[in-house]
Amino acid sequence: MKTAVIGSGAWGTALALALLNNGHQTTLWSYSGQEHATLREKRENPMLPGVALPDTLELTTDLASVKDCGAVVLATPSFAVRSTAKQLKAFLSPGAPVILVSKGIEKDTSLLLHQVVEQELDGQNPVVVLSGPSHAEEVGRGVPTAVVVACGNRDAALLAQQGFRGDVTVGILRDTFDGNAVRIHQAMARDCPQIHLTFRELSHSDLIRALLAGELDAAINSGEALPQEDVDPITLRRDRQCAVVPVSSPLARARSLRMEDLREENFVVMSRTASLPGYGLVWKMAADAGFTPRVAAEANYVPSLLMLVACGLGISTLTDNLEHLSQDMVSFIPLVGVPLSCHALAWRRDNRNPSLPFLLDTVRRGLETGWAQPPSPPGA
């Protein structure tokens, strides 16, 4: 995300470094030409001795540098907030949050400073207030600290929070081992160490609900289970649907099966609470084969489902990537005539987390080099 910090005092400089270290293209604006020259020459702010300003931090005295910024931090002294906000208005992108970090009350009006900025911007941009307790010298050196953002616009507050925290939350299925999640984590740690990647374990149903509710930045999930009008996916791999049968079943000797071959069998399925998409898929595949599945038992976890199948309560259907959980007590028999399942990283189109593009770019690069793309099954 392109960002700008208006005001190159100790606090403004420290916040500019925090944004830069989180991977954002950042410009630091100085009111004084002399101050700007000192920063450019020394690559250090005298108020933050020993804290180097990287060459990637752009320095300017031109307020037009805020054009096309996804967020702008306003860090001027309190007496200059109104005049600076008035000048900024002409250059701000509509809707881009202005993150106010100046403190105080305007002398002539007794207005709080966020009210002053809101007056000058006239509703064109949401105003987010960021406040400590914190110290510029600690933030500038990367010492962990906690600050709070507040805004009447929740999306703007989240963008400010995520921009400074530099984190991404990805949902994963709670009862499977996903090699793609491991590869993604390793690649992010290597290529984007400034971004903190967190996994959140959920059931299949809760994974989809949390993604669509905006509680997750992305989810690793079956692409077919997501509404295409709201979500964009990156396909990680395609998995073959299999019949899961007890090793003692005559069906276990088959090299492949069709759904029609399962017509007379009892089924063990994932519960609707745990995996509404998985539950619905069994019904769809059976309906396409001309029958209604006879459900003998339901499970809330994949290992539990496999155990019930091994006990002989019925057969099931799962994708072949879950075979490693079977402990050789059930057989996975490929189903022919059934579409492959798309295993994807998905995110909401309206997600504004400025750290999300780092994740997406990392995954795309990984796929291009083959790290998350095993060979497709024969006939795919």
pLDDT tens digit string along 147-193?
A: 899 999 988 988 888 788 788 999 999 888 888 899 999 999 888 88
Where does the pLDDT of residue 268 fall: very low under 50, low under 70, confident under 90, or very high at 90 and above? Answer: very high
Among the listed ranges 1-10, 157-166, 260-269, which one has the minimum average pLDDT value? 157-166
> Cα–Cα distances in Å, from 175 out to 118, 165, 203, 301, 304?
48, 29, 8, 6, 10
Q: Are residues 74 and 158 in the same domain?
A: yes
The letter for the amino acid at 5 is V
Residue 119 confidence (pLDDT) above 80: yes
CATH classification at residue 116? 3.40.50.720
Sorted by sequence, the CB contacts under 8 Å of residue 378 that are 6+ apart come out as none
Range 289-301 average pLDDT: 95
CA proximity to 333, closest of 343, 345, 319: 319
3-state secondary structure of 206: helix
Average per-residue pLDDT in the chain? 90
Range 303-314 average pLDDT: 96
Rounded to 5°, the CA angle 150-11-91 comes to: 70
93 lies in which domain range? Answer: 2-165
% of the chain residues with pLDDT over 90: 68
Range 109-115 average pLDDT: 94
Residue 380 confidence (pLDDT) above 50: no
State how far the Cα of 110 lies from the Cα of 99, in Å rounded to an integer.
20
Q: Are residues 8 and 143 in the same domain?
A: yes
Burial bucket for residue 364 (CB in 10 Å: 0-12, 13-18, 19+) = exposed
Query: What residues are paired with 231 via a beta bridge?
Result: 348
Residue 370 confidence (pLDDT) above 90: no
State how far the Cα of 82 lies from the Cα of 103, in Å rounded to an integer.
13
State how far the Cα of 368 lies from the Cα of 346, in Å rounded to an integer.
18
Per-residue model confidence (pLDDT) at position 378: 53
Alpha helices in 63-135 (DSSP H): 81-88, 113-121
3-state secondary structure of 194: coil
pTM for this prediction: 0.73
> Cα–Cα distances in Å, from 90 out to 63, 69, 121, 255?
10, 13, 9, 69
Residue 377 confidence (pLDDT) above 70: no
- Does a structural domain hold residue 122? yes
3-state secondary structure of 104: coil
Domain boundary among 122, 143, 165: 165
Q: Report CA Rg, the chain.
A: 27
Whether the Cβ atoms of residue 220 and residue 344 lie closer than 8 Å to each other: yes
> Cα–Cα distances in Å, from 371 out to 89, 105, 256?
46, 55, 29
Domain boundary among 150, 165, 180: 165
- Does a structural domain hold residue 374? no
Residue 89 confidence (pLDDT) above 50: yes
State how far the Cα of 165 lies from the Cα of 148, in Å rounded to an integer.
11
Q: Are residues 16 and 140 in the same domain?
A: yes
Q: Are residues 159 and 180 in the same domain?
A: no
Q: Are residues 44 and 72 in the same domain?
A: yes
Per-residue model confidence (pLDDT) at position 73: 96
Q: Which two tokens stand for residue 27?
A: 């410009």
CA proximity to 152, closest of 132, 113, 120, 125: 125
Per-residue model confidence (pLDDT) at position 376: 54
Per-residue model confidence (pLDDT) at position 254: 96
Q: Are residues 231 and 352 in the same domain?
A: yes
Whether the Cβ atoms of residue 208 and residue 236 lie closer than 8 Å to each other: no
pLDDT tens-digit series, residues 329-350: 999 999 999 999 988 999 999 8
State how far the Cα of 187 lies from the Cα of 192, in Å rounded to an integer.
8
Q: Are residues 61 and 201 in the same domain?
A: no
Per-residue model confidence (pLDDT) at position 123: 86
Per-residue model confidence (pLDDT) at position 175: 84
CATH classification at residue 207? 3.40.190.10
